[in-house]
Chains A and B, each alone.
Chain A
Amino acid sequence: MVGAGQARFGVRVEGLKALFAEAFFACLESVDRGVDPRAIQEAYVGSMSFGGAQIGNLAPLMTEQVGLDHVPTRKVENACASSSYALRDAWFAVRSGLRDLVLVAGVEKMTDLPPPRRGYWLGVSGDTEWERLAGTTFAGLYALMASRHMHEYGTSREALAQVAVKNHGHAVHNPKAHFRRAITVEEVLRAPPLASPLTLYDSCPVSDGATALLLASRERAAEFTDAPVTVLASAAASDFLALHDREEITRVEGTVRAGREAFRQARLEPKDVDLAELHDAFTIGEIIALEDLGFCAKGQGGPWTLEGRTALGGDVAVNTGGGLKAKGHPLGATGAGQVVEAFRQLRGEAEAERQVEGAEVALTHNVGGSGASVAVHLFGV
C-alpha cells in the first residue's frame, strides 16, 4: 500500500461524485513521492449503492470524476464489507503479477433520504424473506446476538457501552470522524432504546463518506514511498445470512475462519497485533470479534473491554480512529476506511493523542450485514 486517504465521514452536503473525489485526492496526497493517476491500471470500487441513486455502473461513473478515463473498473458489493472485498480483489490482481498499480475505493451517500426510504435501505442486507418479515431491523439482529451472548457469558450492558465510550474517546482526536464528542457509559445506557439491549448509542451512525487506497506491487513500491505498508494477509469467509441458519449466534463463523486464515498466511498470532480495526456496527460486534479473532477467549470480550485491554496502551488498541461507532459507517467505504487508519498508524502519522506507539502490525476486520461476509486483512511495516 503506497497511499491511503479518505473524505471526512459524517453528514455531508456533497454527493457521491464530490465525496469520491475528496477521498481520491486525499489518497494521492498521501503518496510520499507522488503518483501520476494516469498510471493506475485497474480500479475496484466498494459500495452498496445505498438509496438507489446510482445502482448500475456506479464504478465507472466514480472513476471518471477524477480523470481515470477508460480505466477498467467495477463495483464490488458485500454490504458493509464491500471495500475490504474490493481490496481483496485488488490484492489478487497485484499478487497475480498481472497488475502493479491499482486503486481500491469505497463510497456511500446515506443521509439524503427521507426516513421511510432510509428505513427500507437499512434493511436490505439481511435475509428479507424470513428475518426481515419477522419485523427485525439490522439492530434487531445484532440485538439477538447480544441477548444470547449476555445469557451465555454474562456480558453486561456496561461492557457494551464501554466499547462506544472508548471509540468515541479515540474519535475526539480524529478530524475525519463523524462524531468527535466524548460520551459516558451513563449516556449510552440512557439513550433511546433501539432493540433491547441495544440503545441508539450502541449503534453506529448513518454516514456519508468515501475512501481510497493505492496498491502497488512489491517491486514498484519504492517508486512511490520509502515507507510502504505491506499487505501481510488477505482472508475472507462467508457465513449463513440468516441468524436462524447459524449453529451459534454468539460467534460469527466468517470471522473465525477468515481470522484463522489471515494469521496463517502472515505467520502471526493475535498477540503480535498492535492495533485492530474491528467491525463495531453495534457495540456487541466488537466484543464478539475480539473473541472470534482469538484476541481473548470466548466470553471474555466484555471483561477485556471493561479492563481496558482494548484501549490505547492495552493488549491491542482497538478502533483507534473511532471505529464505525464514532468515526462513522458509510457502508461501502468503511472497509477501506479501516485500512486508511491502519496505514497512518503503521507509518506513525496518526494524531499524537491516538497514535499507537511503535505500531508494526495492524489487523482490519470488516463484516457485511450480520456476518454473511467477512474480510480480515493484516498489514505490517
Chain B
Amino acid sequence: MAAIESLAFAFPAYRIRAEAYVRQWGYFRPRGIEEKTVAGYDEDEVTLAVAAARRLPDAGVGYLAAATSSGEGVSATVAAALGLEGCRRADFGVSTNAGGEALLTCLDFVDARGERALLVVADAPRGAPDDPQEHGLAAGAAALLLGPKGGLEVEETASATREEYGEAFRDPEGRWRSLEVVDMAERVVPRVAAPLLERGGRGVRVACAEPDALFSRRVLRGLVPPDQLGGGVVTRSGDTGAASAFLALVETVRGASRGDRLLLVTYGGGGAVGVLLRVAAKPRGLASPLQALAEDGTDLDYATYARFRRYLSTASPSEGSMGAYLPLPAYLESVPARYRLVADRCKACGRVQFPPRPACRSCGDRTFEAAPLSGQGEVHAVTVIARGSAPTEFREQQDMVGAYAVALVQLTEGPRIVAQVTDCRPEEVEIGTPVEAVLRRVYRQEGVVRYGYKFRPSVGDRGRRAP
C-alpha cells in the first residue's frame, strides 16, 4: 500500500483572540478555542494551499488532488503555481470531508501507478458576522506527498456515508450555516473508526477533524481514551475546515514514535474517512502547528478583523472596473512569471531577464530557457502608499487594510521587480529588509480573481511557519 512521504502546513500571519470577540459581541461561542487564524485580505484557500505545498521537498508527481470545503476549484491555480503541467489533477469540495475523500483517491493512484501524488487540503471557511457559527471559522492548509514508500505507511482505509440535511451547509453567499438540529457525525465517524481501531490494536493515536475542541472526544466516545486523541491544534488555530484533520495529523506525528499506529479521521457532509497509518520512520524536520501558532502571528482587533474578512465592504463584485486594464489573455500568458517568478536566461549570453521580454537586453538574441528565480531578495527602495492614494483596482484593498508598502525589490539573481509588501505593517519595511516572494490574490477584475506575487519580510526556514 501507499505511504505518506512528507507533510507540511501553512497558516496566515494574522490571529484574533477569543477576547476580541467577547469585547465585540459579549461572548465567543466555541469552547476550548483561545484564538484562531485569520486569512489576510490577499489570502484564500488557493494561496494557503500553495504556501503549504511549497514547503514540501521537490518531487515529480503524477496526480494533484486539491481539497477544500468550498465549491470553488483550486487545483488549476495550485498546479500552475507549482509548475505542474503534465499531471492529472482533481478538485474535491463541498464539505469538510473533502480532504479524506481526496486522500483515498491519491492512495489509489499511488497503488495503481507506483507514482507519487500530491494532496493539498486548504480551507478558509466564511460565515455571516452576526451568526455565532462564524466565531470559530479560521484558515489553514496542509500538504501531503504520497508515494509507494514513505515514513507513514498506510495499512488500511475505511469510509462511510449517510444522508444529512442541515448539519452544515453554505448559503447562497457562500457562508457556512447550520440548523443545529442534526448531528450525523456521532453516527458516521464510529463506522469508520471502530474497524480501523480494532485492526490497529491498542495504543492507536487518533488525529480527528477538529471543528472545535470537543468534537473528537464526542464522536469517538467509548472508542478512544481521551489521552489517545492527538491534535489539539484547534485551540489555537480555530476551525480550519477541511484542513483540520490534517493539521491534527501533523501534530500527532510529531508526538509519535517509530512503530506507533495513527488513525486519521475526516468528517463532513454526512461522510467520514478513516486512514490507519503505521509510523515506519518519522518524517524529518517536521514542524509543529501548535508551536507555529504560539510563536508567530499578529493579533487583530475585531474591527480590523471585520475589514480583512470583507464584512464591512460594500464594493460591487466588479471591483476595479476602472482599474488598470490588463486583458485576461495577456495576464494568462504571464502566469509562469507571476506565479513562480520564472525568468528568462538568454541562450546566447546567459543574461537573466525578469519580467520576460522578447529580446535579450545585453545581446539582442531571442532564444531563452526558463530560469525560475528563488523569490529571495532585499528591498532596494520603498514607499508607503497612503490611504486614498491607491490605484482604483486597489482602492477596496486599501479601504479595508489601510496604507500598504510597495518596494522595488533586488532579487538575489540580479533582476529587480516592483511589488507590494504584505503580512507586515508598512512602516516595518526599510531599504535592506530581506524579503521573499509569496503567491497572493492581487486584484479582481471582470469578476475574475487574479493571483500574482507579493513579497513579505523573510521568515527564513525556521520550520515554524510555511511560506
Where the two chains meet, the residues of A that have a C-beta atom closer than 8 Å to any C-beta of B are 116-117, 119-120, 123-124, 128-137, 139-140, 143-148, 151, 192-198, 242-245, 249
- Cα A131 to Cα B324 with chains together (Å): 11
Shortest distance from the beta carbon of A4 to any chain B beta carbon, whole Å: 35
Cβ contact within 8 Å between B355 and A130: yes
Closest B residue to A247 using CB positions: B416
Given A116-B395, A119-B391, A133-B326, 19 more A-B residue pairs with CB atoms under 8 Å apart are A117-B322, A119-B322, A120-B392, A128-B326, A135-B385, A135-B391, A135-B404, A137-B391, A139-B385, A140-B406, A144-B383, A146-B383, A151-B431, A192-B388, A193-B386, A193-B403, A195-B384, A243-B416, A244-B408
Residues of B within 8 A of A245 (CB): 416
B389 interfacial contact with A, CB 8 Å = yes
- When A and B form their complex, which 9 residue pairs have the shortest distance between CB atoms, in order from nearest? A143-B383, A193-B386, A244-B416, A148-B381, A116-B322, A144-B381, A196-B384, A119-B392, A147-B381
0/1 per residue, B415-443, Cβ < 8 Å to A? 11111100000000001000000000011
- Cα A32 to Cα B309 with chains together (Å): 67
Given contacts A137-B391, A144-B383, A144-B408, contact A242 B418 (CB under 8 A): yes
Residues of A within 8 A of B330 (CB): 129
- Cα A130 to Cα B408 with chains together (Å): 11
Where the two chains meet, the residues of B that have a C-beta atom closer than 8 Å to any C-beta of A are 322-326, 330, 334, 355, 380-386, 388-395, 397, 403-404, 406-408, 415-420, 431, 442-443, 452
Residues of B within 8 A of A147 (CB): 381-383, 431
- Cα A177 to Cα B431 with chains together (Å): 38
The one of A134, A137, A145, A193 in contact with B420, judged by C-beta atoms closer than 8 angstroms, is: A134
Residues of A within 8 A of B382 (CB): 144, 147
Residues of A within 8 A of B403 (CB): 193
Residues of B within 8 A of A137 (CB): 385, 389-391
Residues of B within 8 A of A193 (CB): 384, 386, 389, 403
Shortest distance from the beta carbon of B74 to any chain A beta carbon, whole Å: 22
Residues of A within 8 A of B406 (CB): 134-136, 140, 144, 195
Cβ contact within 8 Å between A148 and B389: no
Cβ contact within 8 Å between A129 and B326: yes
Cβ contact within 8 Å between A132 and B324: yes
- Cα A99 to Cα B380 with chains together (Å): 49
- Cα A133 to Cα B406 with chains together (Å): 11
- Cα A123 to Cα B395 with chains together (Å): 13
Residues of B within 8 A of A249 (CB): 380-381, 408
The one of B390, B415, B417 in contact with A135, judged by C-beta atoms closer than 8 angstroms, is: B390
Cβ contact within 8 Å between A119 and B442: no
- Cα A148 to Cα B408 with chains together (Å): 10
Cβ contact within 8 Å between A116 and B417: no
Shortest distance from the beta carbon of A118 to any chain B beta carbon, whole Å: 9
- Cα A94 to Cα B213 with chains together (Å): 84
Cβ contact within 8 Å between A116 and B404: no
Residues of B within 8 A of A242 (CB): 418
A-B residue pairs in contact (CB < 8 Å), sample of 27: A119-B322, A119-B391, A120-B324, A120-B392, A124-B324, A128-B325, A129-B326, A129-B330, A131-B418, A133-B324, A133-B326, A133-B443, A134-B406, A135-B404, A136-B406, A137-B385, A137-B390, A143-B383, A144-B381, A145-B381, A147-B381, A147-B382, A193-B384, A194-B385, A244-B408, A244-B418, A245-B416
Cβ contact within 8 Å between A119 and B395: yes
